[in-house]
């Protein structure tokens, strides 16, 4: 039986931290170790971690951001397999066992799985992420600039030897967060990715303002495009320097394009919606029509919903935007 480490990266999430640690310690896979990286919390998180005594290994560091925490975590890893769990998320008790069965069935660099979406109080939303499955060969479309469907950070298990070829990631003021971006997409350049088509954990969503068009914890719709663009540029530099892989200058990602779509047409006047579709929507529709991971049915459905923003009825247009942008908004209909 091979050892696995669950790394929990935490910053001021003391109100959720114990549940995350408990979910890691309660795994039914005996060879599971737990490492907590506390990134300079000031909310009492340290006392919570220390209450577990020798059941967990811990690193208390000065605040440096998520990239810094991931760098330290990967550097400390002594097991060949790892799950990087956010401290506000949860793993179900059979997660590691299921992941390891897949790792043992093939030479995968990453195994990903669905996460049920829960609200800040832990109440299930009735939906999960991601909604599209990734192919085993994610590297080929990635080399063409297509970001493949992946769960958030907590829904990914990695082969440590692959992660160590990607990390450490440069730590800069503009690159403090989004460390999972480099793990998720960098590792896929090194080998096959497997997908488990069931939920093995829970992803906690905190931000649901703007009537439900936001579906992210770290960045709003106006900040996400800029952040992703910077991360892609850094990943390109790393891939060239460390792996000898040349990635394209730009990338394609529906999540990015729908952020532009939401910002442009949600609660916008009829004329503004038409103007955006006629002049600025090329990349958005390309991310749908050319998407190598989507079925024809999903493409047609998304195009049909998107076209509702061209109707003069603002309520119908806003409904379509909410439905496309945020799975949490769908449960009300």
| CA dihedral over 154, 219, 122, 258, signed as positive or negative | negative
Count Cα neighbours of 151 within 13 Å in the Cβ-side half-sphere.
Answer: 33
What tens digit of pLDDT does each residue of 78-126 get?
999 999 999 999 999 999 999 999 999 999 999 999 999 998 999 998 8
Q: Which of these, 231, 222, 284, 228, lies nearest to 258 by C-alpha position?
A: 284
Give tens-digit pLDDT for 144-158. 999 999 999 999 999
Query: What is the pLDDT, as a whole number, of residue 333?
Result: 41
Nearest by Cα to 259 from 332, 177, 324 = 324
Mean pLDDT taken over the chain: 92
How confident is the model at residue 125, as a pLDDT?
Answer: 87
Cis link prior to 324 (omega < 30° from 0)?
no
Instruction: Tell me if the pTM is above 0.75.
Output: yes
User: What's the mean pLDDT in 218-236?
Assistant: 77
Asked if pLDDT for residue 245 goes beyond 50, the answer is yes
Query: What mean pLDDT is predicted for residues 228-235?
Result: 93
What pLDDT shows up at residue 150? 95
Distance CA 51, CA 56 (A): 10
β-pair partners for 24: none
The pLDDT, as a whole number, for residue 172 is 78
**Is the per-residue pLDDT at 209 higher than 60?**
no
- What domains are defined for the chain? 4-206 (3.90.550.10), 255-330 (no CATH)
Cβ-contact 238, 185 below 8 angstroms: no
> 8 - beta bridge partners?
36, 85
Beta strand pairing status for 81-86 and 156-159? Answer: antiparallel
pLDDT in tens, 271-309: 999 999 999 999 999 999 999 999 999 999 999 999 999
pLDDT of residue 5: 98
**Residue partners of 166: CB distance under 8 A and separation at least 6:** 182, 183, 186, 187, 190, 238, 242
Q: Is 32 helix (H, G, I), strand (E, B) or coil?
A: strand
Q: What is the dihedral of CA 333, 327, 193, 90, to 10 degrees?
A: -110
Looking at the predicted structure, is the pLDDT value of residue 212 above 80?
Answer: no
Instruction: Specify the higher pLDDT residue, 209 or 319.
Output: 319
Nearest to 293 by CA among 172, 136, 75: 136
Mean pLDDT computed over 122-146? 92
């Amino acid at each position: 039986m091979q050892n696995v480490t669950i790394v929990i990266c935490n910053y001021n999430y003391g109100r959720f931290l114990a549940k995350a640690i408990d979910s890691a310690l309660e795994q039914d896979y005996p060879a599971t170790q737990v490492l907590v990286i506390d990134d300079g919390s000031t909310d009492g998180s340290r006392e919570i971690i220390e209450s577990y005594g020798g059941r967990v290994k811990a690193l208390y560091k000065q605040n440096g951001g998520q990239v810094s925490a991931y760098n330290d975590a990967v550097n400390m890893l002594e097991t060949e397999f790892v799950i990087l769990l956010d401290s506000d998320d949860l793993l179900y008790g059979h997660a590691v066992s299921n992941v390891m069965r897949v790792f043992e069935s093939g030479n995968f660099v990453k195994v990903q799985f669905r996460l049920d979406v829960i609200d800040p109080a832990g109440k299930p939303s009735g939906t999960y992420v991601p909604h599209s499955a990734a192919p085993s060969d994610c590297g080929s479309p990635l080399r063409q600039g297509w970001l493949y469907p992946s769960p958030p950070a907590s829904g990914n298990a990695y082969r440590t030897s692959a992660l160590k070829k990607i990390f450490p990631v440069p730590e800069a003021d503009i690159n403090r967060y989004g460390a999972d971006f480099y793990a998720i997409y960098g590792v896929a350049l090194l080998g096959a990715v497997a997908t488990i088509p069931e939920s093995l954990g829970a992803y906690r969503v905190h931000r649901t303002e703007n009537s439900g068009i936001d579906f992210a914890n770290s960045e709003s719709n106006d900040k996400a495009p800029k952040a992703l663009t910077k991360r892609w540029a850094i990943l390109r530099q790393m891939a060239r320097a460390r792996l000898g892989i040349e990635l394209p200058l730009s990338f394609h990602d529906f999540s990015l394009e729908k952020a532009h779509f939401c910002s442009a047409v949600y609660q916008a006047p009829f004329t503004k919606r038409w103007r955006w579709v006629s002049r600025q929507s090329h990349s958005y529709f390309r991310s749908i029509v050319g998407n190598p991971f989507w079925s024809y049915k999903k493409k047609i459905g998304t195009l049909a919903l998107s076209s509702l923003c061209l109707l003069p009825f603002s309520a119908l247009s806003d409904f379509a935007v909410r439905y496309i942008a945020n799975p949490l908004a769908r449960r009300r209909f």
